[in-house]
Structure 1
């Protein structure tokens, strides 16, 4: 692997705590992956090395890149995960010491919202979410309910602090934790339980942390407790890229490093491999106004680059029109392809006016990161991918069928209980949805077959969740996302168009919604099927591309498990939907 001098120094430094101050585009992921390989070459055991990221996607990409540098066995033994996944691993192993039963549940944010609604005795969503956010900030600052109440500076904060106490009592009664607890509870456990702390220090002999500037106080404490007193860690961060203060992240953690570790080594990665000098000089000028612990100045060997132009428009529609015309003019002048152009915007709410302008000028486009869905052929390829001859394949086929057929949120899928199918024929499914809204849906015969096959071989364990992971524990959201991604890769060999789409578990829900809308033409039926509380939540599907809707309408039908064909159940709702489609 080719590294510059600073990158090599960061990779090879093992004599104490290290901060790699990595500017944007400076090759920080290359440094982390190369350092993992160097640690293994230097005598560290793969099972004792952990790399912590902030997203599951980043963790998967890092594992893929490390897999090209070390043996397959070593790559599998490494811990490469998010802070939350590491915290969950600690809690599962130390459940008793943390005051939890081994099979404790992880509370979905939607369920947490419903609990806060009950505690605050209100249905005002803004107020509920404000209280949730405030409690989350307190947890991330390691403040308990009593401390939060003492620090409350307004009437709303007082009410939130009181709800915090009741919320914690409810979690304990349910033997559940929320996402913030996945980091807070392990930190508190290691602080008060010397035995657990020693066990995990010996298990994780060296830690690497990506995007360190986005850590909050709880994450910093967890890192400190796992690495003291030897301080064998490398953190990679950049205070100029700190954007998550609103959710508790603190760039002050950079300063805490220098205070807690006077021997801290700092290596700056300032060479940028992504941008031209003009862009970097402008970024340096803007960043010079930011308060910071360490100074740095990005530079590049990619040349001066084009001049940066700032244009003002009368309103968003005028801006979108200007963008569309400028794109067409540039394409004509340089004989380019539409695929050569990209439009960046700050928030998804800005996409619609841009789409309108592009369509008006017949500019083809694809939204990256927005709502996506599979067409009929892609759904069939995906549902046919899991191997029914294996236990995991049988389970995955049932999960995919249920998610698509019911338009399930992933939180609804992983919390499905054995008692949610009231009759032996499995013809209907009871769902406890967002905000504790209930709905009962009929199931296609093929979905019943897939589910029945899984239940026949499901391990007989104490947990009541239908879908279990390989260890006999309840399937998690991340676990389902991982399995879906694996099956998408396989399905793409038969249906290459899948590769061009952003795939998340929610895509199956979107697909169900779009296919139902295309078949019925009635947005109310989509809302009924998905369990939306308000029709406004469903109207997003009306804005999907009309041509794609027509393609779906032509191909729409029930997914089949080969060699069978779909026969709709006799439920009144399904009969109504079928009649509407036939009339269309």
Structure 2
């Protein structure tokens, strides 16, 4: 209806030979076949007309070219003789202020940006272009173009005028961070992409802790305890508990010579697991004392004191210490709020309760986008808490939720089998359907073996059968063998 009306307006202007000086808002509004109340404004310049209305899509017309252009994101670009005649977007930044590279004669929107958005499907584009001031949850099923959508979201943040250095994108692996940066760089250029902070949770928190190390009782050159150092600190904490010692903690660990009672060594594994779980859940020694677990409280307290005396943090301290900085030091909180004006989080289903709490603190401005799928949560052993989706819905009540259900990666047989299997998970947050346009592909074969040897023999035979029948010769690089434990690799 809107498109037909525009063509009618264009025809009227030609029929009556209306010049730009004669054009006025009343003339065109009177000629429209749609409700006048739906019109926000009419812009006229050099024989071209553009209207901004309350409902999408917004369309512009160039009189000479007669071309209808879909103007994304509420902007109307009227192109006349290869140059920008006007922009109908009110309150938007000038092109030079955008965080995107501009090319000549492109108008108010970079060509590569629009091309990228047009490469997305409708749901992906809706997610990428959603209002940046509204918290956004993207539930992305497997193979649904999650990374492409996240890149589109970051591009929209840049287009809305958020400087690249004020955008924080959280991923779970350095490989994912590198891939996202490369894709963004292909659109906006490597220089702009390099300014965006794309980091893992622990890398981001490590940098925050080093910047404010003195507030944590450390120097900026603090060391990071690995598993072996943690184990020795646990053993020393046991000895301190046993003998009631509290002095010379740092020297006690540094001068550790292996001459420790076997009972301490035997218990070290148990207490290391206890300390890890306590830190993953953000538990302090005082909380264990309230529960009546005085031994656990003492072990945890001694362990923390040892790390302070040795100018060290362990892996789990990164998240907890960052939360401490944000909650106990207002100047750090204000600094982070001013710096990280927009946050995008990948693999949200794998965040722990403490990581979610950190995100909630950082995103008090509501400029946050989370991307994940509760069906793909596989890191509960590492503290991942899939209930974070429900927490997000509760803590950001005005959020928008978009689901990406179309699988571009897998065959129909795999999609249907996976969907049937996951329906048996009674703890799912929401039931959702997966769909694909891909062919059915080969059926899934289930082979039950009665011994480890027969299982290995079956795998070997299958590899030989697959590679021998290949017309391209033996390409072992197309075969993947998955196993539950690393020891099974041998």
Q: TM-score range by the shorter chain?
A: 0.5 to 0.7
Is the alpha carbon distance of 1:170 and 1:327 closer, same or farther for their aligned partners in structure 2, counting shifts above 3 Å? closer
Q: Does 1:241 align with 2:376?
A: yes
What's the offset of the Cα at 1:117? 2.2
Quote the residue 1:303 is aligned against. 439
Superposed CA deviations along residues 65-102 of structure 1, whole A, max 9, x for unmatched, are: 22222222211211111111111222222223333333
Q: Give 3-state SS (helix, strand or coil) of 2:175's partner.
A: helix
Q: Spell out the pairing of 1:274-353 with structure 2 (5 A cutoff).
A: 274-290=409-425, 291-339=427-475, 341-346=478-483, 347-352=485-490
Structure 2 runs not aligned, ≥5 long: 1-115, 240-260
The 3-state SS of whatever aligns with 1:97 is helix
SS at match of 1:52: strand
TM-score, length-normalised on structure 1?
A: 0.57
SS in 2 for 1:267: strand
Say yes or no: does 1:263 pair with 2:263.
Answer: no
Residue in 2 aligned with 1:129? 269
Kindly indicate whether the alpha-carbon contact (under 8 Å) linking 2:282 and 2:320 is maintained by their aligned counterparts in 1: yes
Q: Which residue is 1:89 aligned to?
A: 207
2:317 is the counterpart of 1:178? no
TM-score, with structure 2 as normaliser: 0.67
Q: CA deviation at 1:109?
A: 2.7
Query: Within 5 A, what are the aligned runs for 1:451-462?
Result: none
Q: How far 1:293 moved relative to its partner?
A: 1.8
- 1:277 Cα offset (Å): 1.1
- 2:304 is aligned with 1:164: no
Distance 1:93 1:3 in 2: 39
**Does structure 2 retain, via aligned residues, the 8 Å contact 1:138–1:148?**
no
The answer to whether the Cα contact below 8 Å between 1:49 and 1:207 also exists between their aligned partners in 2 is yes
Name the structure 1 match of 2:102: none
1:289 is displaced (CA, Å) by 1.9
Please report how far the alpha carbon of residue 125 of structure 1 lies from its aligned counterpart in structure 2 after TM superposition: 5.9
Please tell me whether the aligned partners of residues 237 and 302 of structure 2 are also in contact (alpha carbons under 8 angstroms).
Answer: yes
2:172 counterpart (38, 44, 54): 54
Question: 1:359-398 maps to which residues of 2 (within 5 A)?
Answer: none
Deviations 1:453-496 (A, max 9, x none): xxxxxxxxxxxxxxxxxxxxxxxxxxxxxxxxxxxxxxxxxxxx
Q: 1:250 aligns with which of 376, 380, 385?
A: 385
- Select which of 157, 160, 181 maps to 1:63: 181
In structure 2, the residue matched to 1:5 is 122
CA distance in 2, matches of 1:249, 1:149: 26
> Structure 2 vs 1, CA of residues 251 and 339 (structure 1 numbering), >3 Å: closer, same or farther?
same
Q: How does 1:395-434 map to 2 (within 5 A)?
A: none
The alignment yields a C-alpha RMSD, in angstroms, of 2.0
SS in 2 for 1:21: strand
Structure number with the higher strand fraction is 2
Task: Tell me the secondary structure at the aligned position of residue 69 of structure 1.
Answer: helix
8 Å contact from structure 1 (residues 34, 69) kept in 2: no
For residues 215 and 235 of structure 2, what CA distance do their matches in structure 1 show? 31
Specify whether residues 37 and 106 from structure 1 end up closer, same or farther in structure 2 by C-alpha distance, changes over 3 A only: same
Displacement, 1:302? 0.9
Deviation at 1:334, TM superposition (A): 4.3
**Counterparts of 1:107 and 1:45 in 2: how far apart (Å)?**
36
- 3-state SS of 1:50 partner: strand
Q: Is 1:34 the equivalent of 2:34?
A: no
The structure-2 alpha-carbon separation of the partners of 1:4 and 1:146, relative to structure 1 and needing over 3 Å to count, comes to: same
Whether 1:217 aligns to 2:353 is: yes
For residues 159-194 of structure 1, give each alpha carbon's deviation from its aligned partner in whole angstroms, at most 9, with x where no partner exists.
Answer: 443211101111111222111111111112211222
Instruction: Evaluate the alpha carbon distance shift between residue 351 and residue 125 of structure 1 in structure 2; reply closer, same or farther with a 3 A threshold.
Output: farther
C-alpha distance 225-167 of structure 1, shift in aligned 2 (>3 A)? same
Q: 2:97 maps to what in 1?
A: none
Question: Using the alignment, how far apart are the partners of 2:265 and 2:143 within structure 1?
Answer: 39
* Residues matched between the structures, number: 347
Please give the alpha-carbon distance, in whole angstroms, between the structure 1 residues aligned to 2:466 and 2:200.
42
- CA deviations 1:315-374 (Å, max 9, x no partner) are 12112212222332344444343215413222332223xxxxxxxxxxxxxxxxxxxxxx
Q: What's 2:49 paired with?
A: none
Change (3 A) 1:332 1:176: closer
Tell whether the 8 Å contact from 2:185 to 2:191 is kept in structure 1 after alignment.
no
Greater helix content: 1
Where does structure 1 lack aligned partners over 5 or more consecutive residues? 353-584
